[in-house]
Structure 1
Amino acid sequence: MAASPGAARGGTVVHRVLNNNVVVSIDDSGRERILMGRGLGFQLKPTDTIDPDRVEKTFILDDGAEGERERQLLTDVPYAVVEAVTRAVDEAERMLARDLGRRVSIGVLDHVQYLLERLDKGLRIPSTSMPELRVLHPQEFAAAQHMTASIGASLGRELPPEEAVFLTMHVLNATRDEPNGTAALLFRRVQHVVATVERSIGVRLDVDSPDYARFILHVQFLLQRLVTRSMLHSSDTSFYEFARHSYPRSHAIAEEVKAYVREATGSELTDEELLYLVVHVERLASQIPPGAAADTVLP
């Protein structure tokens, strides 16, 4: 489904009125367009012509069952929510200086309506703060935070701050030529590696520290190199052997990560990749104060 502001000029004819704010028209190529505007469909008949100045948003529906689902969503969701979401997506596009593509508006709308229904019932959707997002994709995360605040302000409601995580995933999937869910899968794997290191060294990492940022950036690039089959290789193993013998604890933790990567992806980390993991883990482990408790956060 594509969305665009306004409508084509030239006297669009109504095909079907879905509700007071949503009508369907047929374009010159025979495709259905959903036209939206406050009060746009009030007392309209199928033969009436729509005033283009009253059209606030145009959606081009997908074909088949997916298009029908989109049409039903746009019909059922209160127009105030549609306005809030489409305005927030427009603002995010301006922040990122790019078009977020066909399905972001409908995906965010579907998610926000589900969220509001849960909140109205006193339920809060379990989530995670995923601090990795702030480091790996600061622009997309900032845009998602703005979207969360904008939607909440438009609706006069306070949305949970972790909603920025969900919206970041929508933005990431829209700005990358990857199947839906690819970004989420990558971040789950990054999180697993971080959790493995935290458990093994016995402290929680400070998500705002430079070393944390370097570490998760390295982990992300490592996992992406697995996908593109461009892992680091070197014929000189002396540095790896030095690290293995000099930092046995960090090497053991890196081996845990290696085992996880093998299980999750079926790929085997090279000694060169393992070397850099050892270096990062050792840098993090070296910051642990003597006698630090397990819930200590590294400074």
Structure 2
Amino acid sequence: MKIHKVLNNNVAIVRTGNGQDQIVSGRGLAFGKRPGDELDVAAIAQTFTLQTKSTVAYAQLLAEIPYVYLQLTGQILTQAKQAGLSLHSGVALTLADHLATAVQRTQAGDVLPNVMFWDTQRFYPREFAVAEGALALVQAKLNVSLPADEAGFIAFHLVNAATDSTGSDAAVVTRLMQEILSIVRHHFHFEPDPTTPDYGRFITHLKFFAQRLYRNEAMATVDEELLALINQRYQTPASCAQKISHFLNVRYGFTVTPAECGYLTLHIERLVYRKAQ
């Protein structure tokens, strides 16, 4: 593998056999190297495959990030994989850049409040747990104690990477989940127990339901007789689902299909009445 361009001692651009550029990083892998020199593949710790249009800007930003943050990001993403998260490769750069900025802010005494902290913790527990581990890694490696709010920011990076979405996408989906859950709480006058399996299933359903609405994706249709049976058998949850449908249409212009309403009814019934038993 030959070097196409040296960015710094730890980062270089290489060109694959099909002409695609990749950025590779590893401690000292490009030290004393020049374009055209052979690269020791064993020295590569991370590889970033890029689209041609984004290579220059991506590489420039990557070259400006201290290598220690790339190392930390590699460890965090390993923990995320062990936790069962499937993440796209672009998160490595954005997360490393965020860590570097977060440490700088903390050292300067500039604390950034995270207004989405509790919702992120509640709706994305796996991502949040990995983010808490990230704070521990930063403390151990850099002796910097990042504020707890940073766990929410880091978790959001992982949420975005897991859904291959933008930050605004994840923020809107989280807000939709929050508003739907609030309607359920007020409709039934109860607070769901976040430790129960049915709550976990409900939150998972809400996440994908909100994503489908935001992306204007339709789910499979459901037999009309089955929908009629659901609405007849679970009348109170069905009325709650209809209230949610009306709210989403009036507030955002979303159209909730009968099939979506039916599945939402079943999840509401399970959440509310199994808890009450």
In the alignment, is residue 107 of structure 1 matched against residue 80 of structure 2? no
More helix by share: 2
Deviations 1:158-180 (A, max 9, x none): 34332453143044225xxxx55
Deviations 1:51-83 (A, max 9, x none): 44444333333211x222210121111111111
Q: Which residue does the alignment assign to 2:75?
A: 87
Flag the 1:166–1:224 CA change in 2: closer, same or farther, 3 A. Answer: closer
Contact 1:225 1:231 in 2 (8 A): no
Structure 2 residue runs without a partner (length 5+): none
Say what the alpha-carbon RMSD is for the aligned residues. Answer: 3.8
In the alignment, is residue 62 of structure 1 matched against residue 51 of structure 2? yes
Distance 1:77 1:29 in 2: 28
Residue-pair matches, total:
262
Q: Structure 2 matches for 1:47-58, cutoff 5 A?
A: 48-58=37-47
Q: Secondary structure at the match of 2:51?
A: coil
TM-score normalized by structure 2?
Answer: 0.71
Contact 1:233 1:272 in 2 (8 A): no
Distance 2:5 2:211 in 1: 47
Q: Which residue does the alignment assign to 1:235?
A: 225
- In the TM superposition, residue 257 of structure 1 has moved relative to its aligned partner by 1.0
Rg comparison, structure with higher value: 1
TM-score normalized by structure 1?
Answer: 0.67
Distance 1:43 1:239 in 2: 70
Ranked by relative contact order (alpha carbons within 8 Å, sequence separation 6 or more), the top structure is 1
Identity of counterpart residues, as a percentage? 23
Distance 1:172 1:57 in 2: 19
Deviations 1:110-161 (A, max 9, x none): 3333433443441224132331223xxx5x6655554554455333333433
Q: Which residue does the alignment assign to 2:59?
A: 71
Contact 2:24 2:48 in 1 (8 A): yes
Q: Which residue does the alignment assign to 1:293?
A: none
In the alignment, is residue 266 of structure 1 matched against residue 255 of structure 2? yes
Flag the 1:251–1:170 CA change in 2: closer, same or farther, 3 A. Answer: closer
- In the TM superposition, residue 183 of structure 1 has moved relative to its aligned partner by 5.6
Structure 1 residue runs without a partner (length 5+): 1-7, 288-299
Flag the 1:145–1:230 CA change in 2: closer, same or farther, 3 A. Answer: farther
Q: Secondary structure at the match of 1:157?
A: coil
Q: Which residue does the alignment assign to 1:35?
A: 24
